[in-house]
């Protein structure tokens, strides 16, 4: 009887087709999808509350003045909107206290409108409610570029001018027949209290109970371009200010209206905000220096902290590391690894400082210390060019470091299939890693041309992928250890000789191969993008040579592993592969915890001693240490158990 007819991998994963579908789909689809659906309902409520509260803050001026109703229909609409806001807020999760402030603020806004409060009081209540909601809203994917102005104008003329008018003044041919009348985008008072996020939501989803419909036929870049365009119309006549101003990020200009961005600021800064709103192309010019991104986000975090927005400050500090400094870590290592580690530790600690420390003087001291270190790093990266040799070495190291883990997982799967004479199943492993390469390339291309993938989202993806792979590899390693004796292996073959490897398990292999490779591919292209920003065009060949050498070395390693592993006796092969899979599970578990810590999903508790061994996924935090010790403990338990039997 042929081993081809055995059910090697079927038992390897201890899965029948039904069991495989249960575990794989429950872990990857059911759990994730269930959470996503639960969050979707909540996010829908949060978005509606934010949109309506901004709408009320903008239009209340036409409804009430000096405590008297100016327009009964307008006041009725404001009352209805405030009631919807209050109702939606009351339906937010009662299992946690995180929405308590939102509910109180929604009640305050409803009461203010019921009492015909002043425009200033209603706008203050509306603004406070929106700022609180921002902490719970998912970060929007911002475009890296907008459409050319002429294209955007043509898009507006073809789709919006009939209602809003050719110049956006709300006086289109259809305007008089619409209730409420279309927005006049050139109204400065209204535009000062209207955020670009609110405009984008209106374009994307429409506005309930109004003639404004959703433009679902437009892609993201078109919708963003329209939002930025109409948001700029009221500020086109604002002259460019002279002097130095506090940086304003694209995220801030999108989420906050000019009134919020200017609150507590100087007249000059308020003027700068309006000019930036009228000239949004300024936000999308060229590739941003990652160190500049880090510096900008830290200063924005410090400003948010000074206003008492501690959670927002912490989020900006997370962005400072993930969207900025992390992208140049490999480059900085070529100059000063100690400096790189010091800055990383400072940035990781700052997020907790912003969240927990109330003393602005203490915060300022820590921010200034980080800025000083960043200035030193920036000087190294920009004033001293990387040599051709350094670029080649950095390129080679990036590919080897990111590619080796994925390669080992794929090779382990392939060699087990070859060893068990299931070459027919190899194509599924190949499908997995090939699709991962394609997906990584497409994701990178999308990030360059349309969307901006946040660092936090990237780390969550990498952390979840590493965690899943670590668990599966640990499980497979434990199973393989139980088959290290020839007698056990022959008994296993005999018991399973009439079972066949089914499609569910085969696609499970493809899935594991995909996950192992994709998380590394995506991180690799980001690091290469950063490396290219530190090199001149004439040095691109050095980066390419380093990449080619890395590919060649990985191919050589793969050939050696396959050639010599299949020559081993089955017991030795399983024994060696067991420890390889255990080592990979150990490393990936550490990297999973690190990635989730960087995304602020897992807490960070530093150990008394400081160490950072990236190759082993080791970092001096108790969470990572405990997770990796758990891997060792589980593996040791099964080894001891196997020896007793």
Average the pLDDT over 403-421 and give the result.
73
Task: Give me the pLDDT at residue 485, please.
Answer: 45
H/E run at residue 65: strand 64-65
Q: What gap in Å lies between CA 628 and CA 473, rounded to an integer?
A: 14
Residue 454 pLDDT > 70: no
Among 447-461, 494-508, 524-538, 546-560, which range has the highest average pLDDT? Answer: 546-560
Range of lowest pLDDT (248-252, 540-544, 631-635): 248-252
Which pLDDT score is estimated for 11? 44
Which pLDDT tens digit goes with each residue over 120-132?
999 999 988 988 8
Query: What's the DSSP call for residue 621?
Result: B
Confidence band of 400 (pLDDT split at 50, 70, 90) = confident
Most confident of 96-105, 161-170, 176-185, 447-456: 161-170
Residue-level pLDDT at 534 = 59
The mean per-residue pLDDT over the stretch 53-59 comes to 86
- Which range in 389-403, 441-455, 484-498, 615-629 is most confidently predicted, on average pLDDT? 615-629
Q: Which of 23-37, 120-134, 425-439 has the lowest mean pLDDT?
A: 23-37
pLDDT for 258 equals 92
CB atoms within 10 A of CB 152: 21
Supply the pLDDT for residue 327.
75
Spatial contact of 590 and 627, defined as CB atoms under 8 Å apart: yes
- pLDDT tens-digit profile of 261-293? 888 888 888 999 999 999 887 777 555 678 878
- Going by pLDDT thresholds of 50, 70 and 90, the confidence category of residue 186 is very high
At 167 the pLDDT is 93
**Separation between Cα atoms, residue 39 and residue 32, nearest integer Å:** 10
More confident residue, 360 or 598: 360
pLDDT of residue 18: 43
* 8 Å CB contact between 193 and 263: no
CATH number of 140-286: 1.10.760.10
Q: Which residue has the higher pLDDT, 520 or 559?
A: 559
Pairwise CA distance, residues 88 & 71, whole Å = 26
Mean pLDDT of 412-430: 75
Query: What confidence category does residue 317 fall into, taking pLDDT thresholds of 50, 70 and 90?
Result: confident
Choose among 409, 408, 416: nearest CA to 501. Answer: 416
Residue range 110-121: mean pLDDT, rounded: 93
Q: Note the pLDDT of residue 634.
A: 85
pLDDT: which is higher, 246 or 374: 374
The mean-pLDDT minimum among 32-46, 270-284, 301-315 falls in 32-46
Q: Is 465 exposed, middle or buried (0-12, 13-18, 19+ CB in 10 A)?
A: buried
When mean pLDDT is compared over 52-56, 325-329, 519-523, the highest value belongs to 52-56
- 158: helix, coil or strand? helix
pLDDT of residue 163: 93
Q: What are phi and psi of 621, to 5 degrees?
A: -125, 145
pLDDT of amino acid 106: 92
Q: Is 459 exposed, middle or buried (0-12, 13-18, 19+ CB in 10 A)?
A: buried
HEC readout, 194-262: CCHHHHHHHHHHCCCCCCCCCCCCCCHHHHHHHHHHHHHHHHCCCCCCCCCCCCCCHHHHHHCCHHHHH
Lowest mean pLDDT among 240-244, 452-456, 477-481, 624-628: 452-456
Tokens for 476, please give them. Answer: 């497979």
The helix or strand, by DSSP H or E, that contains position 619, with its residue range, turns out to be strand 618-619
Name the H helices within 279-328. 290-306, 310-322
Q: Mean per-residue pLDDT for 214-223?
A: 86
Name which residue leads in pLDDT, 301 or 14: 301
Cα–Cα dist 169/598, whole Å: 46
SS3 track for 74-130: HHHHHHHHHHHHHHHHHCCCCCCCCCHHHHHHHHHHHHHHHCCCCHHHHHHHHHHHH
The Cα-based distances of 144 to 21, 321, 446 in angstroms read 39, 19, 10
pLDDT score at 139: 55
Q: What is the DSSP letter of 431?
A: H
Q: Bigger pLDDT: 136 or 509? A: 136
Nearest Cα neighbor of 412 from 463, 464, 472 is 472
pLDDT at residue 496, as a whole number:
39
> pLDDT tens for residues 285-306?
555 678 878 888 888 888 888 8
Query: How large is the average pLDDT for residues 617-636?
Result: 86
For residues 57 and 126, the answer to whether their CB atoms sit within 8 Å is: yes
Give 341-368 pLDDT, tens digit per residue. 889 888 888 888 888 888 888 988 899 8
What percent of the chain has pLDDT above 70?
73
Rounded Cα distance between 499 and 493, Å, is 10
Phi first, then psi, for residue 539 (nearest 5°) are: -95, 0
pLDDT class of 500 with cuts at 50, 70, 90 = very low
Using a pLDDT cut of 90, give the percent of the chain over it. 13
Q: State residue 337's pLDDT score.
A: 81
Q: What is the mean pLDDT of the chain?
A: 76
**Within 13 Å, how many C-alpha atoms sit on residue 11's CB side?**
20
Please compute the mean of the pLDDT values over residues 85-101 and round it to a whole number: 82
Sequence-ordered list of residues with C-beta below 8 angstroms from that of 308, at least 6 positions apart, any chain: none
């Amino acid at each position: 009887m042929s081993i081809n007819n055995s059910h090697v991998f079927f038992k390897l994963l201890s899965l029948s087709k039904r069991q495989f579908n249960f575990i794989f789909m429950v872990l990857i689809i059911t759990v994730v999808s269930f959470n996503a659906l639960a969050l979707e309902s909540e996010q829908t409520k949060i978005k509606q509350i934010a949109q309506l509260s901004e709408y009320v803050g903008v239009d209340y001026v036409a409804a009430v003045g000096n405590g008297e109703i100016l327009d009964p229909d307008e006041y009725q609409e404001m009352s209805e909107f405030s009631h919807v806001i209050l109702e939606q807020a009351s339906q937010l999760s009662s299992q946690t206290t995180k929405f308590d402030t939102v509910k109180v603020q929604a009640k305050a806004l409803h009461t203010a409108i019921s009492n015909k409060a002043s425009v200033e009081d209603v706008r203050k209540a509306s603004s406070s409610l929106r700022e609180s909601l921002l902490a719970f809203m998912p970060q929007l994917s911002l475009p890296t570029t907008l459409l050319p102005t002429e294209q955007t104008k043509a898009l507006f003329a073809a789709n919006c001018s009939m209602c809003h008018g050719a110049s956006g003044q709300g006086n289109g041919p259809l305007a008089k027949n619409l209730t409420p009348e279309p927005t006049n985008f050139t109204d400065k008072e209204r535009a000062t209290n209207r955020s670009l996020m609110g405009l984008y939501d209106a374009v994307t989803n429409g506005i309930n109970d109004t003639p404004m419909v959703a433009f679902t036929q437009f892609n993201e870049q078109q919708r963003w371009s329209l939002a930025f365009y109409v948001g700029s119309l009221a500020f086109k006549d604002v002259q460019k200010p002279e002097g130095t101003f506090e940086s304003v990020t694209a995220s801030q200009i999108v989420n906050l209206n000019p009134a919020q961005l200017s609150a507590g600021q100087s007249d000059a800064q308020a003027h700068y905000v309006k000019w930036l709103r009228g000239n949004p192309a300024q936000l999308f010019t060229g590739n941003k220096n990652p160190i500049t991104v880090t510096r900008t986000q830290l200063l924005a975090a410090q400003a948010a902290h000074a206003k008492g927005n501690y959670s927002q400050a912490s989020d900006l500090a997370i962005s400072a590391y993930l969207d900025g400094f992390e992208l140049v870590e490999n480059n900085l290592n070529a100059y000063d690894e100690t400096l790189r580690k010091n800055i990383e530790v400072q940035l990781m600690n700052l997020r907790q400082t912003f969240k927990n420390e109330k003393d602005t003087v203490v915060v300022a001291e820590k921010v200034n210390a980080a800025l000083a270190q960043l200035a030193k790093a920036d000087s190294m990266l920009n004033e001293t060019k990387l040599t051709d040799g350094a670029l080649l070495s950095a390129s080679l190291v990036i590919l080897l470091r990111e590619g080796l883990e994925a390669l080992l997982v794929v090779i382990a799967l392939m060699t087990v299939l070859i060893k068990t004479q299931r070459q027919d199943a190899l194509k599924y492993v190949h499908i997995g890693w090939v699709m991962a390469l394609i997906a990584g390339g497409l994701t990178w291309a999308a990030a360059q041309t349309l969307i901006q993938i946040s660092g936090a989202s990237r780390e969550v993806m990498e952390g979840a992928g590493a965690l899943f792979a670590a668990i599966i590899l640990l499980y497979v390693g434990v199973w393989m250890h139980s088959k290290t004796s020839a007698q056990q292996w022959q008994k296993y073959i005999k018991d399973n000789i009439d079972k066949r490897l089914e499609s569910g398990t085969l696609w499970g292999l493809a899935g594991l191969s995909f996950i192992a490779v994709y998380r590394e591919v995506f991180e690799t292209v980001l690091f290469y993008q950063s490396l290219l920003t530190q090199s001149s065009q004439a040095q691109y060949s050095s980066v390419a040579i380093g990449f080619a050498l890395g590919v060649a070395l990985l191919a050589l390693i793969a050939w050696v592993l396959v050639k010599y592993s299949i020559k081993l006796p089955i017991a030795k092969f399983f024994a060696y592969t067991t420890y390889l899979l255990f080592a990979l599970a150990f490393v990936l578990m550490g990297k999973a915890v690190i990635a989730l810590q960087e995304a602020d999903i897992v807490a960070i508790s530093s150990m008394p001693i400081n160490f950072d061994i990236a190759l082993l996924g080791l970092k001096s935090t108790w969470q990572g240490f405990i997770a990796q010790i758990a891997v060792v403990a589980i593996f040791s338990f099964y080894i001891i158990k196997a020896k007793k039997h």
